[in-house]
Amino acid sequence: MNTAGHSEATERRGLELTPFRGLRYDPDRVGSLAAVTSPPYDVVVRPDGVHHLESADPYNIVRLILPQAATPGARNDQAAKTLRRWLSEGVLTTDPDPGLYVYEQRDGNGMLQRGVIGTLRVSDPAEQVVLPHEDVMPHIVADRAALMRATSANLEPLLLTYRGDDSTTATADLIERTAEQPPLLATTTEDGFSHRLWSVTAPADLATIQAGLARHQALIADGHHRWATYRRLRTEHPSPSPWDHGLVLLVDTARYPLRVRAIHRLLHDLPVDDAVAALDGHFGVRRLEVPLAQALEALADAARAGNAFLLAGDGAFHLVDQPDPDLLARTVPADRPTAWRTLDATVLHATLLDQVWHIPEDSPAHIAYIHDAAATVAKAERDGGTAVLMHPVREEVVRDLARQGVTMPRKSTSFGPKPASGLVLRALDL
């Protein structure tokens, strides 16, 4: 994504990626590298998911990114003590030389993604170097900031994307050449993805990557709350300091397009019958007695014509579409671009949650955000709540709104594949 059109000063302060001494598991000290990895913290949403990962290996990274204790303070203290213990025991070791890391993910269906992990200069929104596309929840930023303060570490990389062009050809070629070499590590996680990591330490190679990125800006694909946390922590520490930079994975989506999926909602205290009844006269509703895959196909078909959602939780699916135009005119803010006003997530939050169902969107007691459709439906059926299944937004819509400085409603998209947590960490005090 080129920054042409901005001031020369802005162009000079583009993406600034810095080498660091990665903190990695010693493969001789753990059962397997796959067993110590985890999805990003916000994908591991269920207690049974945390327990599963903790059971996989006593050194699983989930003990750092989602520590379990009675209070937030105790959780963060526990994570800090665990990290220090693993360092002193040699479970985690620091690479000898600073470097950038080429990271590859591949599945069995032809999906291939390669990018570069490094520490990125934390910039202000006005610089338009790193573009968010979603709002964040203050309580999550506060939680992540407390954990990072306690551990003095970046425990997992954010996923950022940029659009490569002629200026990044040398960087792309270097990534491809590096991927032909023997990797530092290689493992396959239980989701079927294989992961490989290489370290780039030669000064000339580092300069090539840094020069290729210097005139570009990036879109936050995954990690809005952690980027906001980086920004908060940077303001707390006088510059220059290690907190001026944060751990990221940068992927060129011109070469490696990401998958864009929806993030679904679980409404804890709203039974499906009540949710459907409240829609009378406001939306069209059709009951579907079909399997999940078929219901999602019906959602995709309906989404081509306008806003559409699937409700579930009572053993069936309810296709919600054809909103009343007058209702949308009354409830959706008019001071945003049309592309924002017509987003499903906008209509869900501004119209359904706020005006029809009267559910606070920022209350974990009322609403949960879950990446997997089947898991959302299963939990709604088990707990008596309502699953709201969403249709994914196209990447070009996300990028266009971000360029305009317009943020989407929180948890509007799920880009992937996401980097596995636990392959390389960054300790700020080493």
Kindly report, residue by residue over 276-285, the tens digit of the pLDDT: 999 999 999 9
Q: Please say if the pLDDT value at position 419 is more than 70.
A: yes
Q: Please say if the pLDDT value at position 430 is more than 90.
A: no
DSSP state letter for 342: T
Question: pLDDT per residue over 48-80, tens digit each?
Answer: 678 788 778 899 999 999 999 999 999 999 999
Q: What is the pLDDT of residue 399?
A: 82
Helix (H/G/I), strand (E/B), else coil: 310: strand
- Radius of gyration of the chain, Cα coordinates, nearest whole angstrom: 22
Mean pLDDT of the chain: 92
Average pLDDT over residues 110-121: 96
pLDDT band at 11 (very low <50, low <70, confident <90, very high): very low
Look up residue 211 and give its amino acid: A
pLDDT band at 213 (very low <50, low <70, confident <90, very high): very high
Q: What is the pLDDT of residue 208?
A: 97
Q: Please say if the pLDDT value at position 46 is more than 60.
A: no
Q: Are 263 and 345 in contact (CB under 8 A)?
A: no
Question: pLDDT per residue over 144-161, tens digit each?
Answer: 999 999 999 999 999 999
Q: What is the pLDDT of residue 47?
A: 58
As given in the structure block, the two tokens for residue 111 are 């999906």
Q: Are 37 and 53 in contact (CB under 8 A)?
A: no
Average pLDDT over residues 405-428: 90
Beta-strand runs (E) in 279-383: 284-288, 308-312, 317-321, 367-370
Q: What is the pLDDT of residue 329?
A: 96
Give the other-Cβ count within 10 Å of 49's Cβ. 16
Question: pLDDT per residue over 311-358, tens digit each?
Answer: 999 999 999 999 999 999 999 999 989 989 999 999 999 999 999 999
Q: Give the residue with greater pLDDT, 405 vs 58.
A: 58
Q: Are 156 and 23 in contact (CB under 8 A)?
A: no
Average pLDDT over residues 218-233: 95
Bridge partners of 185, per DSSP, are 197
Q: What is the pLDDT of residue 2?
A: 46
Q: What is the pTM of this model?
A: 0.82
- Listed range (3-17, 59-73, 208-222, 286-300) with the worst mean pLDDT: 3-17
Q: Are 319 and 308 in contact (CB under 8 A)?
A: yes
pLDDT band at 409 (very low <50, low <70, confident <90, very high): confident
Question: pLDDT per residue over 226-269, tens digit each?
Answer: 999 999 999 999 999 999 999 999 999 999 998 888 999 999 99
Distance CA 102, CA 195 (A): 11
Q: What is the pLDDT of residue 3?
A: 42
Q: What is the pLDDT of residue 191?
A: 87
97 φ/ψ angles, rounded to the nearest 5 degrees: -120, 145
Look up residue 248 and give its amino acid: V
Q: What is the pLDDT of residue 12?
A: 55
Q: Are 91 and 182 in contact (CB under 8 A)?
A: no
pLDDT band at 1 (very low <50, low <70, confident <90, very high): very low
Q: Please say if the pLDDT value at position 8 is more than 70.
A: no
Average pLDDT over residues 23-43: 91
Average pLDDT over residues 22-32: 93
Percentage helix, strand, coil, to 5, in the chain? 35, 25, 40
As given in the structure block, the two tokens for residue 7 are 């001031």
From 42, 213, 210, 130, select the one nearest 402 (Cα to Cα): 130
Question: pLDDT per residue over 174-206, tens digit each?
Answer: 999 999 999 999 999 988 999 999 999 999 999
